[in-house]
Structure 1
Amino acid sequence: MKRSHTMKLLSILLLGAMLTAGCSSNAANTSSSTTTTNATSESTAAVDQTTGAAAAAVELASASAADQADFDENDSLTIWRADSATTIAFSGSVATVTGSGAKAEGGVVTISTAGTYVVSGTIADGQLVVDAPEDADVHLVLNGTQITNNDGPAVHVKEAGKAIITLQEGTDNSLSDGATYADTSEEAPTATLFSKGDVTINGTGKLTVTGNAKDGMTSKDDLKIMSGMITVKASDDGVVGKDLVAVKDGTITVEAGGDGVKTTNETDADKGYVAITGGTFHITSQHDGIQAASSILIADGAFDIVSGGGNAKSTKTHEEQFGGRGFQDQAQTQTDTTQATEETESASAKGLKGTANVAIAGGSFTIDAADDAIHSNANIAISGGQYSIASGDDGIHADTALAIASGTIAITKSYEGIESADIAISGGEIHVTASDDGVNVGGGNDGSGATGGDMFASTGGVLNISGGYVYVDSEGDGLDSNGNVVMTGGTAVVNGPTMNGNAPLDYNGTFEQSGGTLVAAGSAGMAQAPSDTSKQLALMMTFPSTLEAGTLVSVTDSAGQTIAAFQPTKTFGSFVLSSAALASGESYTISTGGTSSGNATDGLYESGAVSGSTKVVTFEMGEKVTYVNESGLTTAASSHGGMGGGGGRGMGGGRGGMRGTPPTDMPNGGTPPADTLPTDASADDQANG
């Protein structure tokens, strides 16, 4: 089938291409054995390869959704003729069949041959059964019918090649079951509309399905929705297809005590997909909104999803464990690992969840989830769409790799905003609000830190920013990589943490910047700037005291022209700027306060004059990263008064000096370990630590 070839191709592009991001990490880490120029060029080449391949992957997402859905010509069959169709009329407690291919016994009608069957009327305790040859296509036209079965499914497709259910234009139809089924065998039906074979629903009428016993609609093969106004209320799962759930159009409303829409085939490599090319979805589920046993592919559609009661029901909490980021990372990794294990023993409550990949090419999404809003156990590729996300855990999480090429993404509430073992951002407009890290390259599997060994060692993961706009408002680290960061384009604005145990920028490897604009303000205790190996110049200012929220900080050149002006919304003690407008040897002045005549985007003024400000320091720009405090030029380690910055690690890192105060209160009344200070820390560093 074409389904197999396409999905294998998509998986290869997503996995192989995005994991190339790891190559840039490896290239950056070879600087000790090669020249800086070679390391940078290798890293840039890897980034280019990753960006191009990721773009190819996301461009394929739209075509793949339609291809994977595998809509057949007869899936759109809605036309029928009264003179050639068999009619089934329910009334009271009995049914009447007019025509061939079906028979009635009391209130139970059994269809045994291929053909078109037009169903109408109401029955309080009856059933429509399809038991036809395995190659027979049975066309059911629901023409204003209400079927209730008190001890089993209202519609039971025992055997058929395909059941095509048409919702006749202008009609209301309903199916309902009882709280318990008479058949309790292992192969018993589990849904109000239950089929062992393929099922397609089309037409423009209405269908209400009530699953009192368990599920609403279930196919043990493919379930396709072409159109219609469908409402499902189920005590467990709403819409289930074992091998495939595919939606082309229609309005689908689901209220589920379990998952909203799901597939269940976890064993066959080319099955278990959810493929959506359009439609409007309103899903309220106690567990996952849309869950695929394999991949989720979305080309378009409108999605309104509330899972697990929404973000307010989350039990995820963030605690500043010990006062230093290193200890926090280690403790948080243990916490996340425990929570991941517990999730396997309890219900997940994610908005979109793919056991394999999630690829979205377009659509509008409003997701309020107690758990991750968009989650993949492998890779996520986003190439378009509009997203309004509130999450009790991660906004967007991929265990392996995540690529964003386009789209408008607003994560209004999250624990961590965007998280994966590798992240590539080449386009789009992204706003993240997080109670922990904003954008985090971590250890995957919902872990935010490296697992095992040196807690400050690079994981090999990479945060690649080559285009787009990224704004982060975080209480934890703003841009955080347990591996490397590479920025070649785009704009990144960080309205960073206020706690000194976190930083606006935090990386364990290198941060190489050769293009784009980076502005970051936040706490100073563990602040970092881009690496000295960067091709583009950067400056880092550490203020003598914490400045109030809303205080404008501006950088002007010797001619008085404003290079950058930023107005953080939270208190801050450090400021980082990397811009192509900075020039080596040029004199710059950093000032605070006053106002700007320009137009601000998220507090960043890229033009306009600043007036009423107070000069803090004037300095001459160096050839790499320039560190400044109120006295003038300084170094990375001393810019914090001995609490190293700019590429230095936190406690125990042994590079660049101390970036946090060692804890004075350890768990169980213990004392700080002796090795919380770097072995190469100077006496001054230790005194200040």
Structure 2
Amino acid sequence: MACRENNSFLDTSGSNKHGSTNEVMSSNSIEKESSSAVINANSSLKTSSKTPTEIEYGTEEMRITTAGDYFITDTFNGTIKVKAENVSLFLDNANISVSNTKVISSDYDLVISLIGTSTLSNVSEIVTKTTNVISGLGNITIQGSGTLNINATKSGINCAGAFYGLGGTLNIAAGTHYGISADRIILKTITIIVTSGGKDAIHAESDNSVQNYDATRGYVIIEQGASISVSGIYGDGIQADTFVLISGGTLNIETLPTWVKATSNKGCYQLINGVYTKVAQDEARNISNYWQLDVSSKGIKVGEIDYETIDANGNTVSHVVSSDEYLITIDDGSITINTTDDAIHANSGDIIINGGTFNLATSDDAIIADNHLKIHGGNINISKSYEGLEGQTVEITGGINKIVSTDDGINAANSNLTKAQQKSLCNVTISGGQTYVSAGGDGVDSNGSISISGGELYVDGTTYYMDSALDSDGGIVITGGTIIATGSSGMVETPTSSSTQYIIMITLSSVTSGPVSVFYNDTVLASFDAAEIFGVGQSYQSIIISLPSFINGNTYTVISGSVTTAVQITSIITKVGSSGWPGWPGGW
């Protein structure tokens, strides 16, 4: 190890002078409908040209007890312990390794600047104790333009305060625990590549003192310039106790499942030819034939405050905090997620998507908010899911949304509510955007109501008689928008008389396939080709069409595959053909 002149290795990519950070939080400034960031990870530029501090160290330990800038180069087989405030470490092509202990530990805030390529490792042939590679009791800031390789037996980086990723590249091979774990995590212009870990890749968790929702603790913020790649993780890609805010950056997340034999009929998967496929709860009758996930392995997850207390008998009691304030907000960025578990999930909270590009593939739900899911913009491509979009309420006001699901494409439900409560509180509302659904179950399903007032909705539904393109328990109201929905004829639901935009409902004499086009005279008013959108289209026997241009008394031509149907509109709802499974709701 050697010390060099400070100005020879001056890094001006945005360091924190003396290891301090300006962290500003207003608990009232996290607006669920706003993209405003409330936390600033600003740092002052280090321009000091002081001589670096020199210390003596043994063969197995370097102990830093004085404030200063420490340049670490070459190879060192030992541990570095920071016992002073205002310490900055400069890793300059350093290789530091140790067995069964931490490589770098700090009792205070610590800034690490990266120069060249350095490696920190506590992996050895004989492991008697798993430990974190970098550990801190305060904040940890990583910055610079270099690369740091971390090989850990436990977590790569763990700190009790905030982790600030302001520059450089981190390659983390974690052991039994996390890639990065901290109370708060703020990622700006940094590249993070996590290739292994027994738990979450990015993990923000508050300590045991937090027993209620606290917006100043347990969050993850990802800004433009950040790049995160996750693979080989047996946990969640990104997990936060309170909220996740993504305003930019690139995320590529792939998690691995851990399977156990099913012990209940909830969340069951069937193993067929080496592929695990989720099955509906009411279909998993003989649970001995099914499997369940042992641990959460979601792409992005929020809402997991938990703590422990000691009861009067001295027993440890675990508590889990439920809060409708848990929040995932995504304003921009490129997000690719491939998981068996849910891709994006807010426990008992909300998800708000204002923008960004999404490519999601999952064997479970793609985007699920236990409370409210709101999509105001973005480009969402769900190529594989059990259910595509789900929440107690699902609101779509914008964006381009393409959904492929084996069950419902869009679902408004909350299993924690009674059937009567769901009928009153659950709803799907569509007022804007373009939404395309290819569903193996219902196209759009609500345990309450469905309201469409604008935007475009195209549904490629199944011919299975128990499913329909549009299905609700509280009624369907159409007052605007462009709607073409195809599906089975057995469970077709008629929109309510509260609808104000003219609707055509066609039941064909037999099943057909192919694009649907609507003409007035020789003018095409609207069309939907499921094969063009999804690569393949399903067969159908019923068609629901509603267009803003429909006029009472006019006759329109609907071409569905090779079938041509002329329909004269005579009322708000005009039906051609007969449909309905005898005795089932929704038939007409």
TM-based fold match above 0.5: yes
**Which residue does the alignment assign to 2:68?**
115
Q: How does 1:452-471 map to 2 (within 5 A)?
A: 452-453=418-419, 458-471=423-436
Structure 1 residue 252 displacement after superposition: 0.9
**Which residue does the alignment assign to 1:555?**
518
Counterpart AA for 2:581: M
**Which residue does the alignment assign to 1:165?**
112
Q: Secondary structure at the match of 1:331?
A: helix
Q: Secondary structure at the match of 1:468?
A: strand
Q: How does 1:43-192 map to 2 (within 5 A)?
A: 57=33, 60-61=34-35, 63-64=36-37, 67-68=38-39, 70-74=40-44, 77=46, 79=47, 81=49, 83-86=50-53, 99=54, 102-124=55-77, 126-132=78-84, 136-157=85-106, 159-160=107-108, 162-168=109-115, 171-178=116-123, 190-192=131-133
Structure 1 residue 122 displacement after superposition: 0.6
**Aligned-partner Cα distance in 1 for 2:74–2:202:** 29
Contact 1:221 1:241 in 2 (8 A): no
Q: Secondary structure at the match of 2:375?
A: strand
Greater strand percent: which structure? Answer: 2
1:512/1:179 Cα in 2 relative to 1: closer, same or farther (>3 Å)? farther
**Which residue does the alignment assign to 1:404?**
375
Structure 1 residue 615 displacement after superposition: 3.5
Q: Secondary structure at the match of 2:425?
A: coil
**Which residue does the alignment assign to 1:282?**
229
Counterpart AA for 1:516: G
1:2/1:217 Cα in 2 relative to 1: closer, same or farther (>3 Å)? closer
Q: Secondary structure at the match of 2:96?
A: strand
Structure 1 residue 80 displacement after superposition: 5.1
Contact 1:470 1:491 in 2 (8 A): yes
Contact 2:489 2:507 in 1 (8 A): yes
Contact 1:232 1:253 in 2 (8 A): yes
Contact 2:155 2:181 in 1 (8 A): no
Query: Does 1 or 2 have the higher relative contact order (CA < 8 Å, sep 6+)?
Result: 1
1:438/1:196 Cα in 2 relative to 1: closer, same or farther (>3 Å)? same
Higher radius of gyration, 1 or 2: 1
Q: 2:542 aligns with which of 546, 561, 574?
A: 574
**Which residue does the alignment assign to 1:331?**
282
1:232-259, Cα deviation, whole Å (9 max, x unpaired): 0011334334320111112110022321
Contact 1:442 1:459 in 2 (8 A): no
Structure 1 residue 9 displacement after superposition: 3.6
Structure 1 residue 504 displacement after superposition: 0.7
Correspondence 1:509 to 2:474: yes
Query: Structure 2: where are the runs of 5+ without partners?
Result: 1-21, 272-278, 304-325, 531-536
Counterpart AA for 1:409: I
1:330-363, Cα deviation, whole Å (9 max, x unpaired): 8279999xx99x76xx310101111121001100
Correspondence 1:387 to 2:325: no
Structure 1 residue 451 displacement after superposition: 5.2
1:286/1:359 Cα in 2 relative to 1: closer, same or farther (>3 Å)? same
Counterpart AA for 2:253: I
**Aligned-partner Cα distance in 2 for 1:474–1:295:** 31
Q: Secondary structure at the match of 2:57?
A: strand
**Which residue does the alignment assign to 1:206?**
147
Correspondence 1:493 to 2:458: yes
**Aligned-partner Cα distance in 2 for 1:619–1:301:** 50
**Which residue does the alignment assign to 2:334?**
364
Contact 1:167 1:207 in 2 (8 A): yes
Q: Secondary structure at the match of 2:282?
A: helix
**Which residue does the alignment assign to 2:185?**
245
Structure 1 residue 483 displacement after superposition: 0.8
Contact 2:23 2:42 in 1 (8 A): no
Q: Secondary structure at the match of 2:377?
A: strand
Contact 1:152 1:182 in 2 (8 A): no
Runs (4+) of structure 1 moved beyond 4 Å? Answer: 1-4, 179-184, 314-319, 332-336, 450-455
Q: How does 1:265-344 map to 2 (within 5 A)?
A: 265=206, 267=210, 269=214, 270-278=216-224, 279-284=226-231, 285-308=233-256, 317=269, 331=282
Contact 2:181 2:205 in 1 (8 A): yes
1:151/1:190 Cα in 2 relative to 1: closer, same or farther (>3 Å)? closer
**Aligned-partner Cα distance in 2 for 1:584–1:241:** 62
**Which residue does the alignment assign to 1:643?**
581
Contact 1:119 1:145 in 2 (8 A): yes
**Aligned-partner Cα distance in 2 for 1:182–1:308:** 24
1:236/1:422 Cα in 2 relative to 1: closer, same or farther (>3 Å)? same
1:141/1:249 Cα in 2 relative to 1: closer, same or farther (>3 Å)? same
Contact 1:310 1:391 in 2 (8 A): no
Structure 1 residue 317 displacement after superposition: 4.4
**Aligned-partner Cα distance in 1 for 2:150–2:141:** 15
Structure 1 residue 404 displacement after superposition: 0.8
TM-score, normalising length from structure 2? 0.81
**Aligned-partner Cα distance in 2 for 1:461–1:473:** 22
Contact 1:589 1:615 in 2 (8 A): yes
Correspondence 1:349 to 2:302: no
Contact 2:155 2:174 in 1 (8 A): yes
1:548-604, Cα deviation, whole Å (9 max, x unpaired): x32x444333x344333444411100001010111112223334445xxxxxxxxxx
Counterpart AA for 1:250: I
Q: Secondary structure at the match of 1:458?
A: helix
**Aligned-partner Cα distance in 2 for 1:178–1:329:** 43
**Aligned-partner Cα distance in 2 for 1:335–1:381:** 38
Correspondence 1:223 to 2:168: no
Aligned length: 515
**Which residue does the alignment assign to 2:384?**
413
Identical amino acids, percent of aligned pairs: 29
Counterpart AA for 2:333: G
**Which residue does the alignment assign to 2:138?**
197
Q: Secondary structure at the match of 1:497?
A: coil
1:553/1:166 Cα in 2 relative to 1: closer, same or farther (>3 Å)? closer
**Which residue does the alignment assign to 2:194?**
254
Correspondence 1:584 to 2:552: yes
Counterpart AA for 1:172: T
Structure 1 residue 294 displacement after superposition: 1.4
CA RMSD, Structure 1 to Structure 2 (Å): 3.0
Structure 1 residue 128 displacement after superposition: 0.7
TM-score, normalising length from structure 1? 0.70
Counterpart AA for 2:297: A
